[in-house]
C-alpha cells in the first residue's frame, strides 16, 4: 500500500483487525497510517470475559496436553502427533498472562461451546450420537443463543455469527479513537 501511494490523505481507507500497526518496520507504523483511516475490530470481550480470564489463568499445560488430558481427549489418536506438529510446545507460561491471548481465542472458545450446547440439546431430545450430524446438527447450531465470553452469541439463517464491532479512527493526535461500537443485539454504542 505504501508503494502504491495509498497511505496518503488522498485515500479513504477501511481495514479489519488483520491490518497490524506496530512499532517496527514489519507491517505499518503509526506514522504510516493517514489521519482518517478507519478500522473494524470484532468485540472479543463480552461481560463474561472476566470469568474466562480467571479460568484461563488457572490452567496449566498439563491440563491441556498432559497424561490425563491425552487419555481423556484421545490426543494420542491424532493423525499428526502433538510432538510432530509445527507449533510451539505448549508451556505453563502461555496461561500466565491473558494479554498474550490472540483475538481469535475467545471466539474459538465460544464456537466450541456452541457445539457442546447443540449436541447436549440434541441428546436431551432423544437423538443418538449417530444421528447428531449434518442437517440435524446444523439446524440446532443456527438456533443457538447464549451469552458467551465474546458477548451475545447468535446466528442468522445462513449460519453466520451475528457479532459486534468497534469502529476506530486514526486522529491527528496519532492515536486510535473509538468512534462507535455496533452491537447487533442492542444497537448500543459501547466505546
Share of the chain above pLDDT 70, in %: 74
| pLDDT tops 60 at residue 189 | no
pLDDT in tens, 46-59: 899 999 999 999 99
Confidence of residue 164 (pLDDT cuts 50, 70, 90): confident
Residues 45-94 have pLDDT tens digits of 889 999 999 999 999 999 999 999 999 989 989 888 888 888 788 899 98
Contact 152, 42 (CB under 8 A): no
pTM score: 0.73
40 near 14, Cβ under 8 Å? yes
Range of the domain at 123: 44-163
My answer on whether 88 and 100 are in the same domain is yes
Pair (155, 177) in one structural domain: no
Closest CA to 34 of 3, 13, 4: 13
Question: Are 17 and 80 within one domain?
Answer: no
Residue 156 shares a structural domain with residue 181: no
Report how many domains make up the chain.
Answer: 2
Amino acid at each position: 500500500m505504501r508503494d502504491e501511494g495509498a497511505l496518503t490523505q488522498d485515500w479513504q481507507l477501511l481495514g479489519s483487525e488483520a491490518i497490524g500497526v506496530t512499532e517496527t518496520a514489519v507491517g505499518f507504523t503509526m506514522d504510516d497510517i493517514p489521519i482518517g483511516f478507519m478500522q473494524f475490530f470484532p468485540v472479543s470481550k463480552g461481560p463474561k470475559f472476566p470469568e474466562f480470564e480467571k479460568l484461563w489463568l488457572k490452567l496449566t499445560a498439563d491440563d491441556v496436553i498432559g497424561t490425563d488430558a491425552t487419555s481423556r481427549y484421545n490426543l494420542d489418536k491424532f493423525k499428526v502427533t502433538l510432538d510432530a506438529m509445527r507449533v510451539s510446545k505448549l508451556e505453563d507460561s502461555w496461561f500466565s498472562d491473558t494479554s498474550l491471548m490472540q483475538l481469535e481465542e475467545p471466539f474459538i472458545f465460544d464456537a466450541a461451546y456452541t457445539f457442546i450446547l447443540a449436541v447436549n440439546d440434541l441428546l436431551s431430545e432423544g437423538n443418538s450420537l449417530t444421528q447428531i450430524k449434518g442437517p440435524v446438527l446444523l439446524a440446532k447450531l443456527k438456533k443457538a443463543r447464549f451469552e458467551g465470553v465474546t458477548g451475545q452469541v447468535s446466528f442468522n439463517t445462513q449460519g453466520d455469527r451475528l457479532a459486534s464491532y468497534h469502529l476506530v479512527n486514526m486522529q491527528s493526535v496519532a492515536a486510535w479513537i473509538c468512534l462507535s461500537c455496533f452491537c447487533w443485539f442492542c444497537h448500543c454504542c459501547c466505546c
